[in-house]
């Protein structure tokens, strides 16, 4: 069974239709990369999947493990295992990062009928991730994303992914603004999550990250639709010839 | 989300709105000399106290209600209020508290029975116009600490009362304080002798119960040289359509090297979302750091009342004395709060800190009003003020009025103010991580209030957090 089935989705932001009959299936264990010009609707697609308040779905359906999620609240979708790493993570002053992470993890554990982790257990769990991501220990005692650099915010998104262990992982430009070391660390984090079951949707403008995480499919999103799906060899073609060279497949 | 739904969510629920079903003796509404004589007689007061009350009444009759606050409310009819209400004593024994009152206090989380009393906290329990029970009084006496109702103190410690009452808040300080001077009913008196560190937290719990009555308590705390006391007050009232008046006066006196920590968790009934009902809370609180190195710190968490008008202040008279004000004020429904502090620097090297956090939701209006005054001799005075406002939704308001009066150019005064909104983006971010809307809001709000909550004694910090959660239950930006 597909992990996620996006069927003929039409979605508006305000009065403007952004997604215009988009179809896309995510397969278990696979990494799907999405590329496409600015303003094509890539972020809108990720927002649609997680139930963002900006987006209104006018037609079509999204199935997760065979069930429609369009009527589910954003937090329910999250608890069921859908995770979005935001293109622009928001800052929340005063909310301690570690406290936030533990609250989120325990919400998930409660949802799964597991026991909540206490602070000590949680910190132990977190420490190994921090080291792997090359994050300074003080990042988790600071306010959530407040004053974080662009790269630090992205690492913090990956940290959340590692802690929450979601099943559908959407990464919206996780590679933008990362230095070489950060890109390697973030890619390593993503690769660690590959387990043959999880599905990844990686939105990017650059081939660099794809060299590290080896996508199974490349989808081209243009003007609100997926106009082409191919293997990783498509990246080189796109880099050379641009998006205008792609003609929508029948 | 529809606005209506949001409003329903933010309105929280007032869970302390029950009535205690007891027989109450209430004096008929109205305020005149006869009322004062009646109260004084009920309290078996000495003649000198009655004379002071009558003097205050005369002054008050010539005063007019102040309206400079950023507050809107129907005029108060002082003749329609009853100025004295007291639970009738149980039939068995004069000393015994009515079981229904015990039950009610238990419901409020404050068991008064001998065996069940809170460990480490002595409580003075006030219902309407009288103190019904003071716990641990004898225990405290062993340390020389006086902890009793103000009515008892007037009879038992007249010298202390004569010396200190009206010494910080003069009898006719302002309209509401003058009214209180004339009609005050009960409240708490605390005296900590020289060099004594009060061995437990002291606390008064005020409960308005009777209909159409006002509550006018008076609290006086004297910390003698080198002593320390932490005092807490809490309050609540039944849910009613009528507005009820609460006009209290609190005076604090800290001698050389003494410290008073005064915390308030104010949870009077706030009225409904249309502004119907609720307590009018007009309170004068002031402390003086009389001697060198004295310290007074006010911490308040204000979640209740329809109207709050309150400026706990510090007069920093002793050299090197310290004043602090930490405040969280929440206005939701149609609540209005005009609150802040005054820091009056008179002594040398005095310092003050003001941290004010205002939270507004629904139609709530929140005003911070603060004065920092640096006198001619206050060389080396320092003040740091921080006033932050958090808005939830777009019908509410936050206003900040910081005033500075300085005769002294060496004084160092710093002021910071911010206004922020719980943004939809912040909420969505948290929800995308599986945290539900309510928890997301309370997480952001707690983050905002952290500096103030950390000032509260442990037991009360927990209570304050829970109260805040309840007040803003499910609030959505
Ligand atoms: N809140 C909004 N209000 C109005 N228009 C919006 C809003 N959000 C997105 N849009 C518009 O929707 C279109 C698609 O935006 P989207 O963010 O999905 O593009 P994208 O493919 O992610 O682009 P990029 O590569 O630049 O991130 C753009 O034209 C954008 O201006
Ligand atoms: Mg985008």
The answer to whether residue B107 scores a pLDDT higher than 80 is: no
Cβ-based neighbours of B428, under 8 Å, separated by 6 or more? A52, A53, A74
Pick the more confident residue, B263 or B477: B263
Facing residues of B237 across strands?
Answer: none
Facing residues of B368 across strands?
Answer: B339, B400
Question: Is residue B86 a contact partner of residue B130, using CB atoms and an 8 Å limit?
Answer: yes
Average pLDDT over residues A165-193: 93
Question: Is residue A182 a contact partner of residue A154, using CB atoms and an 8 Å limit?
Answer: yes
Q: Is A103 on the interface with B (CB under 8 A)?
A: yes
pLDDT at B372: 94
* Ligand 1 site, residue A224, Cβ cutoff 6 A: no
- What does the CA dihedral B372, B370, B175, B346 come to, rounded to 10 degrees? -10
pLDDT-derived band at B8, boundaries 50, 70, 90: very low
pLDDT-derived band at B114, boundaries 50, 70, 90: low
pLDDT-derived band at B56, boundaries 50, 70, 90: very high
pLDDT-derived band at A81, boundaries 50, 70, 90: very high
The answer to whether residue B271 scores a pLDDT higher than 50 is: yes
Report the percent of chain A where pLDDT is more than 90. Answer: 77
Q: Is B401 on the interface with A (CB under 8 A)?
A: no
* φ, ψ for residue B204, nearest 5 deg: -120, 135
A53: CA distance to ligand 1 center in Å? 14
Pick the more confident residue, B306 or B462: B306
Average pLDDT over residues A19-47: 96
The answer to whether residue B474 scores a pLDDT higher than 60 is: no
Reading phi first (left if > 0) and then psi (alpha if -120 to 50, else beta), residue A111 is in alpha
For residue B425, the ligand closest to its alpha carbon is 1
A87: CA distance to ligand 2 center in Å? 6
Helix (H, G, I), strand (E, B) or coil at B413: strand
Question: Is residue B444 a contact partner of residue A95, using CB atoms and an 8 Å limit?
Answer: yes
The answer to whether residue A233 scores a pLDDT higher than 80 is: yes
| Minimal-distance CA residue of chain B relative to A94 | B447
For residue A221, the ligand closest to its alpha carbon is 1
Distance CA B76, CA B67 (A): 12
CB contact under 8 A, B432 and A103: no
Indicate the average pLDDT of chain B. 85
Question: Is residue A4 a contact partner of residue A49, using CB atoms and an 8 Å limit?
Answer: yes
Report the residue from A52, A96, A143 with minimal CB separation from B428: A52
Please state, in angstroms and as integers, the Cα–Cα distance from residue B474 to each residue in B208, B278, B312, B437, following that order. 28, 21, 31, 7
Cβ-based neighbours of A38, under 8 Å, separated by 6 or more? none
Q: Give all strands (DSSP E) within B317-381, no chain letters.
A: 322-331, 336-345, 351-361, 365-374
A44: CA distance to ligand 1 center in Å? 6
Distance CA B399, CA B338 (A): 9
Beta pairing, strands B278-289 & B313-316: parallel
- Please report the number of interchain residue pairs, chain A to chain B, with beta-carbon separation below 8 angstroms: 70
Question: Could you say which DSSP state residue B170 is in?
Answer: -
Distance CA B425, CA A177 (A): 21
pLDDT at B442: 82
The answer to whether residue B100 scores a pLDDT higher than 80 is: no
Question: Is residue A91 a contact partner of residue A148, using CB atoms and an 8 Å limit?
Answer: yes
Q: Any idea how long chain A is? A: 250
The answer to whether residue A192 scores a pLDDT higher than 80 is: yes
Question: Could you say which DSSP state residue B197 is in?
Answer: B
Question: Is residue B92 a contact partner of residue B132, using CB atoms and an 8 Å limit?
Answer: no
Judged by average pLDDT, the poorest of A82-96, B64-78, B121-135 is: B121-135
Please state, in angstroms and as integers, the Cα–Cα distance from residue B458 to each residue in A103, A225, B231, B464, following that order. 22, 57, 13, 10
Judged by average pLDDT, the poorest of A116-125, B96-105, B394-403 is: B96-105
pLDDT at A115: 92
Report the alpha-carbon angle B327-B336-B446, nearest 5: 40
* φ, ψ for residue A121, nearest 5 deg: -60, -40
Distance CA A40, CA A42 (A): 6
Distance CA B232, CA B20 (A): 23
Reading phi first (left if > 0) and then psi (alpha if -120 to 50, else beta), residue B187 is in left
Question: Is residue A126 a contact partner of residue A139, using CB atoms and an 8 Å limit?
Answer: no
Distance CA B153, CA B176 (A): 23
Distance CA B289, CA B428 (A): 48
What is the per-residue pLDDT across B183-212, written as a single tens digit (0 to 9) for each? 998 889 999 999 999 988 888 888 777 777
Give the range with max mean pLDDT: A118-127, A233-242, B228-237: A233-242
Q: Is A107 on the interface with B (CB under 8 A)?
A: yes
pLDDT-derived band at B4, boundaries 50, 70, 90: very low
Cβ burial, residue A248 (10 Å; 0-12/13-18/19+): exposed
Which ligand 1 atom lies nearest to the CA of residue A44? 18
pTM, whole model, 2 decimals?
0.81
Average pLDDT over residues A47-71: 96
pLDDT at B452: 85
Report the percent of chain B where pLDDT is more than 70. Answer: 91
pLDDT at A249: 65
For residue A205, the ligand closest to its alpha carbon is 1
How would you label A198-229 residue by residue, b for 16+ Cβ within 10 Å and e otherwise? Answer: bbbbbbbeebebbeebebebbbbbbebbbbbb
Facing residues of B152 across strands?
Answer: none
The answer to whether residue B233 scores a pLDDT higher than 60 is: yes
Distance CA B328, CA B235 (A): 16
pLDDT at B134: 77
pLDDT-derived band at B60, boundaries 50, 70, 90: very high
Judged by average pLDDT, the poorest of A21-25, A178-182, B304-308, B315-319 is: B304-308
Pick the more confident residue, A16 or B405: A16
pLDDT at A131: 87
Q: Any idea how long chain B is? A: 477
pLDDT-derived band at B115, boundaries 50, 70, 90: low
The answer to whether residue A146 scores a pLDDT higher than 50 is: yes
Please state, in angstroms and as integers, the Cα–Cα distance from residue B400 to each residue in B15, B174, B332, following that order. 31, 22, 17
B138: CA distance to ligand 2 center in Å? 70
Shortest distance, CA B438 to any CA of chain A (angstroms): 11
Nearest to residue A172, comparing CAs of A187, A157, A185?
A: A157
Which ligand 1 atom lies nearest to the CA of residue A45? 18
The answer to whether residue A103 scores a pLDDT higher than 70 is: yes
Distance CA B311, CA B473 (A): 27
pLDDT at B1: 37
Indicate the average pLDDT of chain A. 93
Nearest to residue B132, comparing CAs of B85, B164, B165?
A: B85
CB contact under 8 A, A75 and B435: yes
Cβ-based neighbours of B76, under 8 Å, separated by 6 or more? B65, B243, B245, B280
Q: Which residues surround ligand 2, an ion (CB under 5 A)?
A: A 42-43, 87
pLDDT-derived band at B40, boundaries 50, 70, 90: very high
Question: Is residue B229 a contact partner of residue B194, using CB atoms and an 8 Å limit?
Answer: no
Using CA positions, which residue lies closest to atom 11 of ligand 1? A39
A88: CA distance to ligand 2 center in Å? 9
Distance CA B83, CA B154 (A): 19
Chain A residues near residue B416 by CB distance under 8 angstroms: none
Q: Is B436 on the interface with A (CB under 8 A)?
A: yes
The answer to whether residue A154 scores a pLDDT higher than 90 is: yes
* Ligand 1 site, residue A117, Cβ cutoff 6 A: no
Residue B397: how many other CB atoms lie within 10 Å: 17
Both tokens of B211, joined, read 């209909």
Shortest distance, CA B10 to any CA of chain A (angstroms): 19
Contacts 24+ apart (CB under 8 A), B141-146: B143/B193, B143/B196, B143/B198, B143/B199, B144/B193, B144/B196, B145/B190, B145/B191, B145/B192, B145/B193, B145/B196, B145/B198, B145/B199, B145/B229, B146/B189, B146/B190, B146/B191
What is the per-residue pLDDT across B345-403, written as a single tens digit (0 to 9) for each? 999 999 999 999 998 888 888 899 999 999 989 999 999 999 999 888 888 888 889 88
Judged by average pLDDT, the poorest of A19-28, A78-87, A152-161, B414-423 is: B414-423
pLDDT at B12: 61
Pick the more confident residue, A119 or B8: A119
């Amino acid at each position: 069974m597909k992990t996620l089935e996006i069927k003929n989705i039409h979605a508006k932001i305000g009065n403007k239709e952004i997604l215009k009959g988009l179809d896309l299936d995510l397969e278990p264990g696979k990494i799907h990369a999405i590329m496409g010009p600015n303003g094509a609707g890539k972020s809108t697609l990720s927002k649609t999947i997680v139930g963002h308040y900006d987006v209104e779905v006018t037609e079509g359906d999204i199935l997760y493990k065979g069930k429609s999620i369009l009527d589910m609240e954003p937090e329910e979708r999250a608890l069921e295992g859908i995770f979005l790493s935001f293109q622009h993570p928001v800052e929340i002053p005063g909310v301690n990062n570690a406290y936030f992470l533990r609250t989120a993890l325990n919400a998930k554990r409660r949802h799964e009928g597991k026991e909540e982790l206490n602070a000590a257990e949680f910190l132990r769990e977190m420490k190994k991730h921090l080291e792997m991501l090359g994050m300074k220990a003080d990042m988790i005692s600071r306010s959530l994303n407040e004053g974080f650099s662009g790269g630090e915010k992205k690492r913090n998104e990956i940290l959340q992914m590692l802690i929450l262990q979601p099943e559908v992982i959407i990464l919206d430009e996780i590679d933008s603004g990362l230095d070489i070391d950060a890109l390697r660390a973030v890619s390593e984090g993503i690769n660690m999550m590959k387990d043959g079951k999880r599905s990844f949707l990686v939105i990017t403008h650059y081939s660099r990250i794809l060299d590290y995480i080896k996508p199974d499919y490349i989808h081209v999103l243009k003007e609100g639709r997926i106009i082409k799906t191919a293997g990783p060899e498509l990246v080189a073609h796109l880099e050379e010839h641009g998006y205008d060279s792609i003609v929508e497949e029948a | 989300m529809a606005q209506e739904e949001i409003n329903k969510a933010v309105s929280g629920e007032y869970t302390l709105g029950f009535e205690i079903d007891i027989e109450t003796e209430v004096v008929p509404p109205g305020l005149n000399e006869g009322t004062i004589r009646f109260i004084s007689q009920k309290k078996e007061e000495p003649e000198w106290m009655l004379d002071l009350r009558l003097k205050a009444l005369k002054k008050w009759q010539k005063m007019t209600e102040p309206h400079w606050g950023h507050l809107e409310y129907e005029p108060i009819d002082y003749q329609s209020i009853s100025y004295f209400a007291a639970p009738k004593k149980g039939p068995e024994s004069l000393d015994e508290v009515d079981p229904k009152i015990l039950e009610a206090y238990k419901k409020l989380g404050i068991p008064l029975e001998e065996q069940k009393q809170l460990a480490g906290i002595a409580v003075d329990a006030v219902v309407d116009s009288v103190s019904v029970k003071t716990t641990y009084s004898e225990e405290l006496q062993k340390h020389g600490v006086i902890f009793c109702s103000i009515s008892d103190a007037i009879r038992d410690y007249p010298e202390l009362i004569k010396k200190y009452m009206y010494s910080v808040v003069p009898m006719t300080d302002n309209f509401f304080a003058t009214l209180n001077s004339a009609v005050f009913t009960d409240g708490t008196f605390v005296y900590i002798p020289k060099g004594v560190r009060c061995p437990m937290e002291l606390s008064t719990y005020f409960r308005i119960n009777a209909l159409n009555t006002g509550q006018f308590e008076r609290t006086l705390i004297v910390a003698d040289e080198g002593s320390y006391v932490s005092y807490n007050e809490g309050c609540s009232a039944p849910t009613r359509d009528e507005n009820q008046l609460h006009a209290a006066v609190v005076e604090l006196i800290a001698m050389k090297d003494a410290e008073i920590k005064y915390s308030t968790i104010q949870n009077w009934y706030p009225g409904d979302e249309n502004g119907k009902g609720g307590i009018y809370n007009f309170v004068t609180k002031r402390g003086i750091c009389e001697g060198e190195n004295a310290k007074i710190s006010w911490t308040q968490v204000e979640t209740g009342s329809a109207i709050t008008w309150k400026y706990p202040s510090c007069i920093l008279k002793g050299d090197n004395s310290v004043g602090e004000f930490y405040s969280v004020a929440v206005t939701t429904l149609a609540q209005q709060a005009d609150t802040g502090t005054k820091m009056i620097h008179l002594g040398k090297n005095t310092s003050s800190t003001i941290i004010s956090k205002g939270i507004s939701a629904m139609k709530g209006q929140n005003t911070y009003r603060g004065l920092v005054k640096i006198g001619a001799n206050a060389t080396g005075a320092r003040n740091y003020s921080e006033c932050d406002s958090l808005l939830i939704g777009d019908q509410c308001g936050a206003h900040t009025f910081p005033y500075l009066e300085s005769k002294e150019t060496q004084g160092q005064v710093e002021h910071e103010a911010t206004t922020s909104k719980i943004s939809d983006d912040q909420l969505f971010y948290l929800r995308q991580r599986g945290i539900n809307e309510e928890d997301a809001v309370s997480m952001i709000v707690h983050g905002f209030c952290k500096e103030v909550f950390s000032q509260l004694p442990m037991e009360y910090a927990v209570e304050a957090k829970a109260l805040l959660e309840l007040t803003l239950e499910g609030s959505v930006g």
